[in-house]
């Protein structure tokens, strides 16, 4: 974590011009520095605050007060005793953000809705860093807040248009798939012509499934998707996913192994309970990410296990998640070093896991690589 910079004016003098400077017409260099920093603080085009380790405001500038709907910083600090008080955060989400800040020393562009004094909500992006002593003890936190409501509105508009487009694409795709089935039934095709017709049907069905999945993911984002739960063989699914993806990374000479209760015997089964097509999408995303991150000639391992209450899977590769995206790994559009990556794989995996009532976590280091761990409830006859 960054240390407190000695060139910065003393915290006690940061919000007031010291009396000595006024008496000496501001000739003292240290006081001129206070004036310079205070001018930046007061006139910056974004909200700035400092708070102690108990999240109590120490300082706030006029722009932050305006974001909250207050007339002055003094009104803001008199009204709020906790910097998170007006943020639309669940308890778990807040604890996760605080753990990241304590662990990493910084949070960048953390987007959250903020409730203003009139009850209205605006979208804000928070960047916060811990300021520490040379011994590593936290002195206070610096925070920077910007209004990103316009950006969020544009994102919502884009997503609405994309969702409507996907929905409208379903009808012609259904017609293509249905027509290919009728042609196969009524035409006595052989050889290459039969294969081409089958390919049309398969590709149309695949795109239709992708559209249905994307529409389901939107419902998951809104919290109103109910998975169609049923038992299925997770071991067979995991082996199928590996076979379908491994060939694309042949040049890296990677290995792929599925363990069921610490055994890699391909005869072993492992029954999970959930919506198989979405669990397959989740695992496809996790394995694809692992294949991209894994060093050449290494092994991607999927471990499966279950007990009376929980079905668990762990995807491991020897690559480490880049430090800059660890705090936001499961957030939408989080990607690093992949020009063509959209940063949606881990995000959609989290949506699918949570729609099943489960939890997804990760551990990562240069020495141990990365583990993505998923746990979902085991239900049904096989539980």
Sites in the chain below the pLDDT cut of 70: 1-33, 336-343, 380-383
Joined together, the tokens standing for residue 31 give 């006081």
Q: Is 283 exposed, middle or buried (0-12, 13-18, 19+ CB in 10 A)?
A: buried
Distance, in Å, from the CA atom of 317 to the CA atom of 130, rounded to the nearest integer, reads: 31
Torsion of CA 207, 209, 215, 219, to 10 degrees: -160
Joined together, the tokens standing for residue 359 give 């939890």
Nearest to 369 by CA among 295, 260, 259: 295
| pLDDT value at residue 20 | 46
CATH of 230-377, one of 3.30.565.10, 3.30.365.10, 3.40.50.300, 3.30.930.10: 3.30.565.10
Distance, in Å, from the CA atom of 377 to the CA atom of 369, rounded to the nearest integer, reads: 27
Distance, in Å, from the CA atom of 363 to the CA atom of 355, rounded to the nearest integer, reads: 22
Q: Does the global pTM surpass 0.85?
A: no
| pLDDT value at residue 383 | 38
Which residues fall within 8 angstroms of residue 39, CB to CB, at 6 or more apart? none
Indicate the domain borders of the chain. Answer: 48-147, 152-222, 230-377
Which residues fall within 8 angstroms of residue 296, CB to CB, at 6 or more apart? 252, 253, 254
pLDDT digits (tens, 9 = 90+) for 336-369: 665 555 567 899 999 999 999 999 999 999 999 9
| pLDDT value at residue 6 | 34
Q: Which residues make beta-bridge pairs with 232?
A: 272
Cβ(31)–Cβ(55) below 8 Å? no
3-state helix, strand, coil in the chain (%, to 5): 45, 25, 30
Domain 48-147 shares a fold with domain 230-377: no
Cβ(76)–Cβ(60) below 8 Å? yes
Tell me how far apart the 2 most distant CA atoms of the chain are, in Å.
102
Q: Which residues make beta-bridge pairs with 130?
A: 141
Joined together, the tokens standing for residue 3 give 């240390």
List the CATH code of the domain at 48-147: 3.30.450.20
Q: Is 41 exposed, middle or buried (0-12, 13-18, 19+ CB in 10 A)?
A: middle
Mean pLDDT of the residues in the chain: 84
């Amino acid at each position: 974590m960054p240390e407190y910079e000695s060139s910065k004016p003393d915290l006690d003098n940061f919000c007031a011009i010291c009396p000595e400077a006024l008496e000496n017409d501001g000739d003292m260099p240290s006081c001129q520095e206070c004036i310079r920093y205070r001018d930046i603080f007061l006139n910056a085009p974004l909200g700035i605050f400092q708070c102690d380790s108990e999240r109590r405001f120490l300082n706030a500038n006029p722009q932050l007060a305006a974001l909250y709907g207050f007339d002055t910083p003094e009104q803001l600090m008199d009204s709020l005793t906790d910097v998170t008080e007006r943020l639309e955060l669940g308890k778990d989400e807040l604890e996760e953000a605080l753990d990241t800040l304590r662990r990493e020393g910084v949070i960048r562009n953390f987007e959250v809705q903020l409730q203003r004094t009139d009850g209205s909500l605006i979208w804000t992006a928070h960047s916060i860093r811990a300021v520490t002593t040379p011994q590593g003890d936290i002195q206070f936190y610096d925070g920077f807040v910007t209004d990103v409501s316009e950006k969020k509105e544009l994102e919502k508009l884009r997503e609405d248009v994309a969702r409507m487009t996907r929905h409208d694409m379903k009808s012609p795709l259904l017609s293509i798939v249905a027509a290919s089935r009728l042609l196969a039934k009524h035409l006595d095709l052989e050889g290459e012509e039969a294969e081409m017709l089958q390919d049309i049907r398969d590709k149309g069905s695949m795109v239709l499934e992708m559209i249905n999945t994307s529409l389901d993911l939107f419902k998951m984002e809104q919290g109103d998707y109910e998975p169609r739960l049923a038992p299925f063989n997770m071991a067979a699914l995991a082996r199928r996913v590996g076979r379908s993806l491994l060939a694309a990374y042949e040049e890296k000479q990677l290995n792929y192994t599925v363990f069921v209760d610490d055994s890699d015997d391909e005869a072993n089964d492992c029954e999970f309970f959930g919506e198989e097509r979405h669990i397959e999408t989740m695992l496809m995303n996790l394995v694809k990410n692992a294949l991209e991150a894994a060093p050449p000639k290494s092994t991607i391992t999927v471990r499966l296990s279950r007990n009376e209450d929980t079905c668990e899977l762990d995807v491991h590769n020897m690559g480490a998640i880049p430090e800059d995206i660890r705090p936001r790994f499961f957030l939408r559009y989080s990607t690093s070093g992949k020009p063509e990556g959209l940063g949606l794989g881990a995000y959609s995996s989290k949506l699918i896991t949570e729609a099943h009532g489960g939890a997804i976590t990760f551990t990562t280091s240069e020495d141990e690589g990365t583990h993505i761990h998923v746990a979902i409830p085991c239900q049904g006859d096989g539980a």
